[in-house]
Structure 1
Amino acid sequence: MPMKSFFLILVAGLILSVGNGFRMSLGIYVPDLLSSTVFGASMIGLTYGIFNLLWGCMSPIAGAFAEQKGYVKTLIVGFIGISLSFYITSSAINPLHFLFGLGVVGGLSAGIISVPVIIGGVSKYFEDDKTRSTVTGILMSLAASGMFIFTPINQFLVSTFQWSVSFQIVSVFFLLFIPMSLIFLIPKPVNKNKKEYTPRKISDVIKTAFQDKSYQFLILGFFVCGLHVALISNYLPVFAKIKGLETTIAATGLTLVGIFNMMGTLISGRVSGIVKKKYVLSFIYFTRSIVIFLLLILPTNNFIIIAFSCLIGLLWLSTVPPTSGIVANRFGTRYLSTLFGIVMVSHQCGAFVGSYVGGLVIDIYGSLDLAWIMAIIISLFSAIIHFPIIEKEKSEEVFA
């Protein structure tokens, strides 16, 4: 692999690491928010849900903008926006202020530096499907590193300074990563043997994709992934507290999710370049249902939290390489940021449901059991609907 390609993957992975690390460890702040504010679990869950929903909605918009106007400008706007979001939220004294700062501004800004935008940008540098799947696995592994890096950082910040000052520190931190955006100034390799086609309008591309049954199944399946990720990352600390455990064990658990996620995405990326990606996805969702079921029925103690975190970590973002790979195989890489971004909207709709329903269930029942049951049922549904997916390219002229 050329040095510039290696450098591109490394820096792009670090961007994902920063964005995902803070987003997926926001659950660390929930116990402190519940004890030091009057927001309530439902409002915090709603805010996190809106954050995730707008994150998803902004992804295809940011992807389309990046494909038309450039990735550097797009990412700079994203880093400035997410920094502003944490600064605005740090002074929140009422629920609407909190919701606007973190939920609205934060969600929109995080969507600009999201997985679809970065993967779509990097994928354009790699033509071969097997190489692209492996690269996606590496990127998501680096993204996963953010969870085990920033979970203990957030735990330290909230334990030392409480949530408001911690948010101010995070605000400054995001500004320091703006120079990373310049990595996409590296010129793309030119494939002289590739047949050229007249590009289609992006509206026509999106219309064609939505008419494709395989694309529809991917969208439905990724909804489930988003629900799982949001439910677990936002409420594992509260779940541990409800069960009488220290919240620090949940922080340790989320850190382990990040560590094992690195291994899971690398394995998934590698396997997705060898076997059919739809089978990889079905296996992941079926296994998730088993792991969550075991968490539900087994006595909750420190060992169970740690074991659950390790197992679910292997399955955490391992859905991304096969999902983005199927989109790339079906429709090419030209509009991958946009088309995978649309799939990510569904993921974040699921994250909204997971975030809000988790908080609502806690407020009503004082337990997460009903939410876990919901997660198990839809995981089995997702495992089934991936089987009819067709992976081969839809049309050689449409999206090359």
Structure 2
Amino acid sequence: MMTRRWHFSPLLLVLSGGAIMGLALGIRHVQGLFLLPLTTAHAWTRADFAFALALQNLVWGIAQPFTGMVADRFGSRRVIFAGCLLYGAGLYAMARATTPGEFALSAGLVIGVALSCTSFGAIYGALSRMLPPERRAWGLALAGAAGGLGQFVSVPAAQNALAALGAQGALVLLAVAISCLCVFALPLHDAPPVGGAVSAAADPRPNAPQSMRATLRAAAGHRDLWMLGIGFLACGFQLAFIATHLPAYLLDKGLDGRSAMAALAIIAMANVAGTYVCGLLGAKLSKPKLLAGLYLVRSAAIALFVLVPLSEATLYAFAFVMGLLWLGTVPLTTGIVSRIFGVQYLSTLFGFVFLGHQIGSFLGVWLGGVMFDATQSYDAVWLCAIAVGIGAAALHWPIREQPAPIMLRAQMA
């Protein structure tokens, strides 16, 4: 039985996906602003707060392959729609939490699953299947830029909500906003027709359908995919540590909350341009080499930031450089996965690669809280952020952008 499907312009698809991803990541981006208000109000330690957000990142990574499988099998629209509502429920539960355990359950478990439904894997997977190949790099780049803009808007919005409503009121307001955004999932109807995996509209030369089991078996033994996932750990470590602990680090060093908010806003604004440019460059240059260079520049920027005397000028320069490189890794990594294994099971395969990113996020957030409580300093974690970036560059450099043998056989069929 045929079901009616509305056709939307590529721009509308990209902006719809970008809006959802922007607010989902934007809320995650500003969670560090809640560290001191919530720990002070409830007499929690920074390690209590950090564990909840570390758990969020780990659950996000573990859930991503499974929500990706659901999206690949039944379509991304249902997953994204449900994810927005689940995100809202998690934020409301965060506002009502009174113990570290309740906070970990809501901020860690519930929002971790919600992020797997509303962020990179689901959005980029849907767009990769719905956009024609010649517009795919543009679409992923623009969606990433729209997501970055959402992060930028979230910073002053969250800060103003905190000032006007307090931490609990601000969380409830964010819960309402992300829940209402579920309507933007409706155009993202990428469910494959019966008997086919990729429509001709999405690819003029669709590959022969292949089973998910055979694809996963091939992916499990693919060296470059493993290197991509292990290298992605550095991205998660660096970004999650900075987003969560930078506001507290700056306050410890004598700067005020306004400086922290401005730094997060600069990161988010620079990310708009950086993600878009990285996505476009990935269509013309070697994506593994671009990723290697990106991680090296990140590590250099972190090293300079912790070595030179801290001031508002050095903080804003650091935020700008990091923002340019913030999420540019994602369209490049997605592009490598789709180049190796196609787009049929992209949400699933990206989910497994993304697990490495989220293990790094868990370690960056959790170690930040643990090391600070133990030493009253973040210095050791900054050094770890530099080291993992250098290691990621070494891992990405030899990766090859070549279709896997299973893809070559499918193309010949």
Normalised by the length of structure 1, the TM-score is 0.95
The residue number in structure 1 matching 2:23 is 18
Cα distance in 2, alignment partners of residues 345 and 61 from structure 1: 11
| Contact 2:246/2:260, CA 8 A, preserved across alignment | yes
**Partner SS state of residue 98, structure 2:** coil
**In structure 1, which of residues 91, 104, 108 is the aligned counterpart of residue 109 of structure 2?**
104
Cα pair distance change 1:186/1:119, threshold 3 Å: closer
Superposition pairs for residues 64-213 of structure 1, below 5 Å? 64-128=69-133, 131-185=135-189, 190=201, 193-194=204-205, 196-200=207-211, 202-213=212-223
**Partner SS state of residue 367, structure 1:** coil
Comparing 183-192 with 357-366, which one deviates more in the overlay?
A: 183-192
Cα distance in 2, alignment partners of residues 185 and 211 from structure 1: 32
The residue number in structure 1 matching 2:53 is 48
Unpaired runs of 5+ residues, structure 1, are none
Cα distance in 2, alignment partners of residues 192 and 241 from structure 1: 51
Cα distance in 2, alignment partners of residues 171 and 269 from structure 1: 30
Asked if 1:368 corresponds to 2:378, the answer is: yes
| Contact 1:8/1:184, CA 8 A, preserved across alignment | yes
Cα pair distance change 1:302/1:245, threshold 3 Å: same
**Partner SS state of residue 177, structure 1:** helix
**Partner SS state of residue 183, structure 1:** coil
Comparing 316-325 with 167-176, which one deviates more in the overlay?
A: 167-176
Cα pair distance change 1:399/1:81, threshold 3 Å: farther
Cα pair distance change 1:234/1:398, threshold 3 Å: farther
The residue number in structure 2 matching 1:248 is 258
**In structure 1, which of residues 213, 226, 234 is the aligned counterpart of residue 244 of structure 2?**
234
Cα pair distance change 1:399/1:380, threshold 3 Å: farther
Cα distance in 2, alignment partners of residues 314 and 195 from structure 1: 35
Comparing 322-331 with 172-181, which one deviates more in the overlay?
A: 172-181
The residue number in structure 1 matching 2:43 is 38
Q: Deviations over 1:113-134 (max 9, x none)?
A: 1211110110012343x63223
**In structure 2, which of residues 314, 323, 331 is the aligned counterpart of residue 313 of structure 1?**
323
Unpaired runs of 5+ residues, structure 2, are 1-6, 192-198
Aligned residues: 397
Normalised by the length of structure 2, the TM-score is 0.92
Cα pair distance change 1:283/1:350, threshold 3 Å: same
Paired AA for residue 245 in structure 1 = L
Cα distance in 1, alignment partners of residues 258 and 61 from structure 2: 29
**Partner SS state of residue 161, structure 1:** helix
| Contact 1:332/1:399, CA 8 A, preserved across alignment | no
**Partner SS state of residue 199, structure 1:** coil
**Partner SS state of residue 188, structure 2:** helix
Comparing 187-196 with 136-145, which one deviates more in the overlay?
A: 187-196
Root-mean-square deviation (CA, aligned residues, Å) is 1.7
TM-superposed CA distance for 1:80, in Å, is: 1.2
| Contact 2:269/2:323, CA 8 A, preserved across alignment | yes
| Contact 1:81/1:105, CA 8 A, preserved across alignment | yes
Cα distance in 2, alignment partners of residues 191 and 142 from structure 1: 22
The residue number in structure 2 matching 1:337 is 347
Cα distance in 2, alignment partners of residues 392 and 192 from structure 1: 18
Cα pair distance change 1:266/1:195, threshold 3 Å: closer
The residue number in structure 2 matching 1:58 is 63
**Partner SS state of residue 185, structure 1:** coil
Once superposed, which parts of structure 1, at least 4 consecutive aligned residues long, lie more than 4 Å away? 186-189, 397-400
| Contact 2:60/2:115, CA 8 A, preserved across alignment | yes
